[in-house]
Amino acid sequence: MKMARLSQSVLLAGALSVAASTWAVAETWTVQTSMPSGSAIFKHVEAWGAKLKTLTSGRVTIQWVGGGAVVPHNQTIDAVGQGILQGDFTATVYFGGRDKVFAVMGDLIAGYDTPWQLLSYCYQGGGMDIFQEAFDKYTKKRVKVVGCAPYAKESFTSTIPIKSVADMKGVKMRSPEGLAAEVFRRAGANPVGLPASEVFTSLQKGVIQAADYSSYTEDESIGLHDIAKFPIYPGIHSMPIIHFTVSQNKWDALSAADKLAVDFWYRSTMMDLIQKLEISDRTLVARDRASKATTIINWTQAERDKLRNIAAGAWKDFAATSPLAKKAYESHMAFMKKMALLD
C-alpha cells in the first residue's frame, strides 16, 4: 500500500512539474501587422491566431495590432529586435530604405506570375536563408524570421483610367519605398511614400490619384472601390511578401514542438489566405463587371511586357547597391530560370 501511495505521489509530482513547466512558458506576443485593423487580411490573421493558441495548448497567444498601432510601419524591425514588440507580420518592402535587399526580397515587381511560384522560392529556392541573413545584419541577430510568403498578385487602385504604361506619366500615386517606387518612377509616375493606413483618405482627398495597395478583396474591404472606380485587374505589378518574425529570445525559449507548431501555423495561415483571396478576388470582379459599379481595366500582354522590361532594369540596378541585394537578385534569377520564368 505504501509503495502504491509512493508511486501515486511520484506521478502527481511529475504531473505538477510538467504543468508548472507549461505554465512557465506560456506567452502572449504582441505582433504588429502592416495592415489596418478591420481589413480583410487583418481579420484573417486574427482568426488564424486562435489556431496557434490551440496548436501550442495555450503556450503561445498572439495579440494582434494594426499598422502603426505601436510603432511606425517601417520601424517594426527595430521594435522586435528591442523587445518592444514580440513579432511583426509585415510587408517586407517597408524596409527597402535601409538596404535594397528588402526591396528585392519584399516584392520583385512584375517578376513572378503566381503566388505559388513565389512561395516555392521562399521555401525551396533559398529565400528564407537570405531573409534571415538580412535581418541578422540589421538587428544584430535579435530577430528570428519564421516565414516569408506572398498573399496575392495585387490589383491596382486608381481614380483615373490607366490603360497603358504611357497613361502612368505624371500620375501621383502611393507606393511603398524601394523597388516598387523606382519601377513606377521609371514608368513616368510620381510615387509618394504613404503607410497603408493613409491610402483611403489620400485617395478621397485627391492627394494621390492611384495606389499600389493590395489585393482586390483587401481594397474592397476598406472601401477603396467606392472612391477609386478604375482598378486594374489582374494586377500589373506587385506580389508582395508578408514576413513573420519573432524576437530571437522568445523563439529560443520555445520547445522544439512549439517551434514546429509556429512554423506550421504561419505556412497554413498564408496558404489559406492565398486560396481565399484568389477566389474572393474573382468573385468580386465578376460582380463588379456585371453591375458596372466600377470600370475594371485589364492591360494587354504587350503593355504588361513593357512594364516588365522596365522592372527588369530596376532589378539589376537595385542588385548593384549592396552585397545582400546582389545575392538576393542572383538567387531570384536562378530560381526563375529553373521554373522556366526566364530564358
pLDDT of residue 104: 93
Sequence-ordered list of residues with C-beta below 8 angstroms from that of 340, at least 6 positions apart, any chain = none
By the 10 Å C-beta count (0-12 exposed, 13-18 middle, 19+ buried), 39 is classed as buried
Model confidence over 262-308: pLDDT tens digits?
999 999 999 999 999 999 999 999 999 998 889 999 999 889 889 98
Q: 266 with 131: CB under 8 angstroms?
A: no
Single-letter residue type at 98: R
Between 235 and 21, where is the model more confident? 235
Which grid coordinates are listed for 294? Answer: 466600377
Q: What pLDDT score does 167 carry?
A: 97
Could you give all domains of the chain from N- to C-terminal order, each with its CATH number? 27-150+239-279 (3.40.190.170), 157-238+293-338 (3.40.190.170)
89-113 residue pLDDT tens: 999 988 988 999 998 999 998 888 8
Q: Which amino acid is at 277?
A: L
Q: In the structure grid, which three cell numbers stand for residue 293, read together?
A: 459599379
Secondary structure letter of residue 297 according to DSSP? B
* Mean pLDDT lowest among 8-22, 156-170, 218-232, 248-262: 8-22
Confidence of residue 76 (pLDDT cuts 50, 70, 90): very high
Task: Look at residue 316 and give its three-state secondary structure.
Answer: helix
> Mind listing the pLDDT tens digit for each residue in 306-316?
998 899 899 99
Phi, psi of 30 (to 5 degrees): -90, 115
Q: What is the DSSP letter of 254?
A: S
Q: Is the pLDDT of residue 9 over 50?
A: no
Q: Is the pLDDT at 1 greater than 50, yes or no?
A: no
Query: Is pLDDT larger for residue 301 or for residue 165?
Result: 165
| pLDDT number for residue 3 | 37
Q: In the prediction, which pLDDT does 39 show?
A: 86
Q: How confident is the model at residue 40 (pLDDT cuts 50, 70, 90)?
A: confident
Asked if residue 128 lies in contact with residue 122, where contact means CB atoms within 8 angstroms, the answer is yes
Residue 253 clears pLDDT 80, i.e. is over it? yes
- Report the pLDDT value the prediction gives residue 281, as an integer from 0 to 100: 94
Please tell me the predicted confidence (pLDDT) of residue 11: 38
Rounded to two decimals, what is the model's pTM? 0.80
- Is 154's pLDDT higher than 60? yes
Is 15 a residue whose pLDDT tops 60? no
4-8, 30-34, 267-271, range with the lowest pLDDT: 4-8
CB-based burial of residue 67 (10 Å sphere; 0-12 exposed, 13-18 middle, 19+ buried)? buried
Mean of pLDDT over the chain? 90
- In this prediction, residue 14 carries a pLDDT of 43
pLDDT at 25: 63
